[in-house]
Amino acid sequence: MVSKKTKSKTKPAKPAAKKTDLIRDILVESLSEDHVKVIDKLNKAKYDEDIASDLDVKATIIRTLLNDLHENGLVEYDRSKNKRTGWYTYMWRRRDEKIRDYVKGYLSGKINDLNSKLNDETQNIIFKCSCSRVPYDAAMQSGFKCNECNAEFIEHNNSEVVDGIVGEITRLNSLLSQT
Ligand SMILES: [Zn+2]
């Protein structure tokens, strides 16, 4: 449907810093700025308390962020028991080798979702009332009148919506090819 961006001839390699920025931006979009601040702090292995004091944030907040990152496979830890207190301490490490895969997976997932959305938009005649948009079948079943807002369903020219989705797919494919 949407042609994948063809690789252009021999492009000069992008400077490394640019690529790092790009990956960082995508991580912020998929997780949050706070998660990425924690990733940035893990340029070497650290205890969660140290990251907390570096960022001047409560350790409990840092642990929550680290757990999110761990669920996504972006960090790992070594646990050790403090013999004196009997408490466990956690030394965290960033998994640089996983970050690129994660970013690629995130972009691919979004592209898939958008492709099926695009499919819905192009395979259906879309109707619109005051509160929502529905495919033809749904509009017909309710007698072309919305049960929610009582307005009449009118055929909606969805070319702007389609253009928006196609534009977003193009943007994400371009990001994917650069990561
Ligand atoms: Zn409605």
Over residues 132-179, the pLDDT tens digits come to 999 999 999 999 999 999 999 999 999 999 999 999 999 999 999 998
102 found inside a domain: no
Do residues 89 and 21 share a domain? yes
Supply 127's token pair. Answer: 């109707």
53 found inside a domain: yes
Do residues 155 and 125 share a domain? yes
Task: For residue 150, report the distance from its CA to the centre of ligand 1, in Å.
Answer: 6
Is the backbone of residue 35 left (phi > 0), alpha (psi -120 to 50) or beta? alpha
Task: For residue 157, report the distance from its CA to the centre of ligand 1, in Å.
Answer: 17
Name the domain boundary from 64, 94, 124: 94
Task: For residue 140, report the distance from its CA to the centre of ligand 1, in Å.
Answer: 14
CA distances from 69 to 22, 24, 29, 31, 114 (A): 18, 14, 14, 9, 25
Domain range for 59 is 16-94
Name the domain boundary from 65, 94, 123: 94
Name the domain boundary from 61, 94, 127: 94
- The pTM score is 0.74
104 found inside a domain: no
Do residues 28 and 90 share a domain? yes
Q: Residue 48: which pLDDT band, with cuts at 50, 70 and 90?
A: very high
Task: For residue 124, report the distance from its CA to the centre of ligand 1, in Å.
Answer: 18
- State residue 15's pLDDT score: 52
Task: For residue 139, report the distance from its CA to the centre of ligand 1, in Å.
Answer: 10
Task: For residue 144, report the distance from its CA to the centre of ligand 1, in Å.
Answer: 10
> From the centroid of its chain, how far is CA 144?
36
Task: For residue 133, report the distance from its CA to the centre of ligand 1, in Å.
Answer: 8
